[in-house]
Amino acid sequence: MSPKALKIALAASVALNLFAVAAGVTVIVGQARIESRVESQHRGTRVPFRTMLESMDPSVRDRVRQELRATAMASRPDFNEARTARRAAIAAAEAERFDADEVSTLLEQSRTAELRGRSRLEAGAVTVLGTLDIDDRRALSSILARNGGRSGRHGGDRGDRREPPAAPVAP
C-alpha cells in the first residue's frame, strides 16, 4: 500500500472508532435516562410538605406543623448521634491500624441511633395522623414514606453535606 492509501485508511479507521464510541455513549446515556424515568414512575411523585398542608384548615395546619416540628426536634439528637458514629466508623476505617470490630460496632451504633430517630418520627406522625379527619389524613399519609423528608424545602437534593470525619470514639 502506498503512504497515501495508509493515511486515508488510518483517517477512516479513526473516524469509524470515534463514531462507535459516540454511539456507545449515546446508548448508555439513553438507557440510564430510561431507567431513571421508570424508577421515578415506580416511586411516584413527591409532593412537598407545604403542598400537602395547603388544603388543610389554617388552625389544623398550624397545629400539625407545630406537632411534627416538635417531633422532628425531639428526634434530632438521635440522627446527630447516628451521623457522629458513622463519621467515627469512617475515620476508624481510614486509620493506619484497621480494627474491623471497632468499625462494625460504630456502624451498629449508627444504625441503632438512626432507627431510634426514625421510630420517634414515625410514632409522632402516626399520633398526628390519628387526630385528623379522613381527608386531611389522606393528604398527609405520604409523610410515612421513608423518603418523605427529601422533598419540599430541600428540593429533593441535599447534596454532599459530609463534614470531615471525627476522631474514633472508644466503644
Q: Is the pLDDT of residue 158 over 80?
A: no
Give, in degrees to the nearest 5, the angle at Cα 102 between 98 and 103: 75
- Average pLDDT over the chain, rounded to whole? 82
Is 80's pLDDT higher than 80? yes
Using pLDDT thresholds of 50, 70 and 90, give the confidence band for residue 155. Answer: very low
Reading the block at residue 41, the C-alpha cell is 414512575
- Residue 171: its pLDDT value, please? 47
Question: Would the pLDDT of 83 be above 70?
Answer: yes
Q: At how many degrees (to 10) do helices 100-129 and 58-94 cross?
A: 180
Query: What is the C-alpha radius of gyration for the chain, rounded to an integer number of angstroms?
Result: 26
Query: pLDDT tens digits for 127-143?
Result: 999 998 888 888 888 88
Could you read off the pLDDT of 20-57 as tens digits, one per residue?
A: 999 999 999 988 888 888 776 666 556 677 777 777 88
User: 44: alpha, beta or left, given left = phi > 0 and alpha = psi -120 to 50?
Assistant: left
Q: Please give the residue that has the higher pLDDT: either 34 or 171.
A: 34
pTM above 0.75, yes or no: no
Cα–Cα distance measured from residue 142 to residue 15, given in angstroms and rounded to the nearest whole number: 53
